[in-house]
Amino acid sequence: MFEHVEMAPADPILGLTEAFKKDPNDKKINLGVGIYKDEHGITPIMEAVKFAEEKLFQREETKGYLPIAGTDDYSIAVQQFLFGADSSIIFSQRAATIHAPGGTGALRMAGELLHKISPKSTLWVSDPTWANHKGIFSAAGLNIKTYPYYDEKTKGFDFEAMIAAIEKIPEGDIVLLHGCCHNPTGVDPTPEQWNAIAQAISDSKLLPLVDFAYQGLAVGIEEDAIGLREIAKLCDTVFVASSFSKNFGLYCERAGALTLVCETPEVTQKVLSQLKTTVRQCYSNPPAHGGLIIATIMNDEKLRTDWEAELAKMRERIQHLRELFVETLKDLGVQQDFSFIKDQKGMFSFSGLTDNQVQQLREKHSIYVVRSGRINVAGMTSSNMPRLCNAIKEVLE
Ligand code: LMR
């Protein structure tokens, strides 16, 4: 049965980590996968998370199954995080949230549900988008097309082209948006542009699906939700796939959520019932630990304040690294202008490095970058910065 099976290609992002781990060079640098590293090159466990885990350990009494959708504590915490604690969307019960295994699990459940309910709808993704989006949604059976997003010339957002494309998308199709910290470019719309995007999506009668994996890592928790909140204000229906891997540092706990907002609570409950059937068929019910940690932090004033302060430090450190990277390249006499990296948000930037330069970085310097040239700024440290920038200088020459 399996003799003729071919080797699948390595994953463009996680496959790099596998190669990185095997590399014997003790000066190797991994700027591939989007994980945050501290100044010692370690992905730390946040202190608020450790405190929450201690609390949970003391009071845990069972390892029984969670309900298919997860717990209400978690669902409400997620909705408050997304829409604001006093949002009318929450009070009117138009929102329902399931605890999904990671942001990827949430996206896949959204894909499965949408394909079940509306199999002819096409899903539109930004060009470029996260390397896994197309795989997730095509595996769920959806047809995928792209809309323009990134302007290679300005290294910025091509707002006009995106709006023009949205206006032409057929009614009933789905538009995938990055809530903030666009992956892979680090280029986000302004609040005014978000308003226009939301209006265009509403006018064209499209379903917005927001992939929200970096809330709190661009400008701040509330500020980063501006795009989503504009969309929820102008569109009756919106789906949100949340990931808490980055902003809580809970990568291996697979803490994600899928939130549905429909026109009325009745419609929401019906759609939720279909989603629960899909979950039952895919993984039955969610893993508990990550959601318990998040709900514990969100419902404890002190832990929440501490977590917000830790998140702010992460955000500020990434911004500092962006500036240091640009300055170090400049000080080394690199002619190419990298200043746009300072203005981009979140973990990633599209460096402009070519496939060939990326290969050279890996082969000659044990520096791992995604082939598209996307770099994870949060993987830099001030101590590896000179080595990194010297290597970039060399491959650019
Ligand atoms: C990334 O883009 O590097 C992260 O979202 C991790 C992943 O699963 O690809």
Contact 67, 272 (CB under 8 A): no
Q: What DSSP assignment string belongs to 373-385?
A: -EEEGGG--TTTH
Q: Is the CA virtual torsion 333, 339, 340, 344 positive or negative?
A: positive
Handedness of CA 11, 12, 13, 19 (dihedral sign): positive
Beta carbons of 161 and 328 less than 8 angstroms apart: no
Pocket of ligand 1 (CB under 6 A): 13, 33-34, 130, 132, 183
Nearest-5° angle of CA 145, CA 232, CA 288?
Answer: 85
Q: Is 308 helix (H, G, I), strand (E, B) or coil?
A: helix
Minimal-distance CA residue to ligand 1 atom 4: 34
User: Quick count: other Cβ atoms within 10 Å of Cβ 298?
Assistant: 20
Taking Cα atoms as reference points, which of 342, 338, 247 lies closest to residue 34? 247
Asked if residues 371 and 358 have their Cβ atoms less than 8 Å apart, the reply is yes
From the CB of residue 159, how many other CB atoms can be counted at a distance below 10 Å?
17
Provide the annotated active-site residues.
130, 211, 246
Give the Å distance between the CA of 246 and the centre of ligand 1.
10
pLDDT of residue 206: 98
- What pLDDT sits at residue 177? 98
Å from CA of 279 to ligand 1 middle: 23
Nearest to 97 by CA among 211, 242, 235, 254: 242
β-sheet bridge partners, residue 72: none
Cα 381 to its chain centre, rounded Å, is: 22
Rounded to whole angstroms, the Cα distance separating 68 from 60 reads 20
Mutate to test the pocket of ligand 1, among 11, 17, 33 (most ligand atoms within 8 A of CB): 33
**299 membership: H or E segment, kind and range:** none
The closest alpha carbon to 208, from 182, 162, 241, belongs to 241
Report in angstroms the alpha-carbon separations of 97 from 72, 190, 210, 257, 276: 8, 27, 14, 7, 11
Residue nearest to atom 1 of ligand 1 (CA): 34
Contact partners, residue 100, CB within 8 Å, separation at least 6: 106, 109, 241, 256, 257, 258, 279, 286
Do 130 and 109 meet the contact criterion of CB atoms below 8 Å apart? no
Q: Please state the atom number of ligand 1 nearest to the C-alpha of residue 33.
A: 3
Ligand 1 centroid, distance to 1 Cα (angstroms): 33
What 3-state class would DSSP assign to 242? Answer: strand
Instruction: Indicate which atom in ligand 1 lies nearest the CA of residue 213.
Output: 5
The per-residue pLDDT string of the chain (397 residues; one tens digit each, 9 = 90 and over) reads 999 999 999 899 999 999 999 999 999 999 999 999 999 999 999 999 999 999 999 999 999 999 999 999 999 999 999 999 999 999 999 999 999 999 999 999 999 999 999 999 999 999 999 999 999 999 999 999 999 999 999 999 999 999 999 999 999 999 999 999 999 999 999 999 999 999 999 999 999 999 999 999 999 999 999 999 999 999 999 999 999 999 999 999 999 999 999 999 999 999 999 999 999 999 999 999 999 999 999 999 999 999 999 999 999 999 999 999 999 999 999 999 999 999 999 999 999 999 999 999 999 999 999 999 999 999 999 999 999 999 999 999 8
Q: Dihedral through CA 25, CA 27, CA 32, CA 36, nearest 10?
A: 130
The number of the ligand 1 atom at minimal distance from the alpha carbon of 130 is 2
Ligand 1 atom at minimum distance from 243 CA? 5
Determine which residue's CA is closest to atom 2 belonging to ligand 1. 34
Q: Whose alpha carbon is nearest atom 5 of ligand 1? A: 34
Cα distances from 160 to residues 164, 193, 233, 344, 371, in angstroms, run 6, 10, 22, 19, 28
Task: Report the separation in Å between the CA atom of 371 and the middle of ligand 1, taken as the mean of its atom positions.
Answer: 14
Q: Work out the burial of residue 327: count CB atoms within 10 Å of its CB; fewer than 13 is exposed, 13-18 middle, 19 or more buried.
A: middle
What is the distance in A from the centroid of ligand 1 to the CA of 332? 30
First to last CA, the chain: 50
Supply the pTM of this predicted model. Answer: 0.95
What DSSP designation does 257 have?
A: E
What are the DSSP calls for 54-110, one per residue?
A: HHHHHH----PPPPTT--HHHHHHHHHHHH-TT-HHHHTT-EEEEEEEHHHHHHHHH
Q: How far apart are CA 155 and CA 337, in angstroms?
A: 11
